[in-house]
Structure 1
Amino acid sequence: MQRGRPVVEVVRLGLVSYQEALRLQQSYVGRQRAAAAAVPVPVPVPAPALPHALLLCEHPPVYTTGLRQPYPPHLLDRLRLLGAEVHRTDRGGLITFHGPGQLVCYPVLHLASFRKSLRWYVGALEQTVISVCSGFGVEASRTRHTGVWVGDNKICSIGVHCGRYITSHGFALNCSTDLSWFGHIVPCGVEGKGVTSLSAELRRDVPPREAVPHLLRAFAQSFDCELTGDGTD
């Protein structure tokens, strides 16, 4: 393993409830805070010193709202009637959907080991997903709206939280997601745009597990880090 680069533990959670994934994120955030407090050295913090993690999972159907959108309770109740959970979160961004067939990624990183810039961080996430799409032959790009787009259709939503330079929440790449769930909301609050997936673009089934190797390679390159853990050897 190359010395001096941040080491990120990859943790594959499989299909897990949103609440359980949130609990695990909070646990890793706690580890980061404890480790940072125990390393009283000038920033940037030596790369191997902090327990960075990349949590990968899928969720049962769930709608989540961000800090910037006080979604009316009666509309949230309508979404619950569809058979989905609904959760308010402390991430940035507006309402979105998570469900089976979507590769959800929660990086818990201390940006002192990378670059202490939230703008850079979000851009690195976008570049990671753009590279994943390129690996499948899908031309994706960033726009003035946060996230990753294929034309006028969003293929990946991004919503992050960053406190004391420790990140949580993350991004969700539509692989073989049932896109009809998005029809009940205005995804991420962007009017007049659609959603798409790798499966829709390629006209074949692309399950999340097929996208994971592409994601890990792209993440390691975008963040100039070493990955360890589940299936990274």
Structure 2
Amino acid sequence: MSSSRPLVTVVRAGRHSFSEGMHLQQRLAKSTQILDPPSEFRNYLVLQEHDPVYTVGLRTKDYTEEDERRLRRLGADFHRTDRGGLITFHGPGQLVAYPILHLRQFKASMRWYVATLERTVIEACRQLGIPNATTTKETGIWVGNQKICAIGVHGSRYVTTHGIGLNCCTDLRWFEHIVPCGIEGKGVTSLSQELDRHVPIQEASDALLSSFANVFECRLQDQTEGKVTKSSEVK
């Protein structure tokens, strides 16, 4: 494993509100944003779980104040963001991962980045025992006609923010109050539902980290331990 491969620091943020997660993401994205040279940028992969929240992407005009009030009455928060995509839900039992990467250390292409992120999730699902997770013409990762992982990203000066929401043991009833990602006639699923057993976030996180290191061809360093893990060593 070459030490020239990009280094990504893994931040295990635990469970918190969406606002706290956004603040953390913004702080990390700006803290080492030395864009010249890009090699000085410190990459992060934030793993977290959110309190119940509905978020919408750039097409916020599709959602009225009444929509917001209706969803808040369910006991969830509501946020408008600068990511791509439409409305989705984040909450307990869902692994939310935000890669904060400078793509010039990888490949300077948002199209490549999104495709690589999709392959990362598909490989993680395969490791967990779901071989038929795949992409379709719609955004996200699907098992049949049900979405198992939402993807919504943002890029600025080749620095990525936002990311994925992988349903592990999520209460899927939260999705009944929206049209997830604006896609009519499709449903949502989770790792637990597909595997017919409880899949905790920690188990999904292990698979995602293994897949991320291999597919992005990078080295992972846990922030809490400072240990650099080569992709071939991630289990």
The structural deviation recorded for 1:208 is 0.6
Q: Which residue of 2 aligns with 1:58?
A: 49
Query: Could you tell me which of 54, 78, 93 is aligned with 1:86?
Result: 78
Could you give the per-residue CA deviations for residues 194-213 of structure 1, whole angstroms, max 9, x where no partner exists?
00000000111101111111
Distance 1:193 1:160 in 2: 21
Sequence identity (%): 55
Q: Which residue of 1 aligns with 2:233?
A: none
TM-score, L = length of structure 2: 0.92
Q: Which runs of 4+ in 1 moved over 2 A?
A: 230-233
Distance 1:213 1:221 in 2: 13
How many residues get paired? 224
The structural deviation recorded for 1:28 is 1.2
Q: Secondary structure at the match of 2:85?
A: coil
Q: Which residue of 2 aligns with 1:191?
A: 184
Could you give the per-residue CA deviations for residues 110-150 of structure 1, whole angstroms, max 9, x where no partner exists?
00101111111111111111011101211200011111000
Superposition map of 1:22-171 within 5 A = 22-33=22-33, 35-37=34-36, 39=37, 45-46=38-39, 49-70=40-61, 71-138=63-130, 139-171=132-164
Query: For the Cα contact (< 8 Å) 1:32–1:166, is it kept in 2?
Result: no
The structural deviation recorded for 1:73 is 1.0
Report the RMSD for the aligned CA atoms in angstroms: 1.3
Query: For the Cα contact (< 8 Å) 2:60–2:80, is it kept in 1?
Result: no
TM-score, L = length of structure 1: 0.93
- Runs of 5+ unmatched residues, structure 1: 40-44
Q: Which residue of 2 aligns with 1:42?
A: none
Superposition map of 1:196-207 within 5 A = 196-207=189-200
Distance 1:179 1:114 in 2: 35
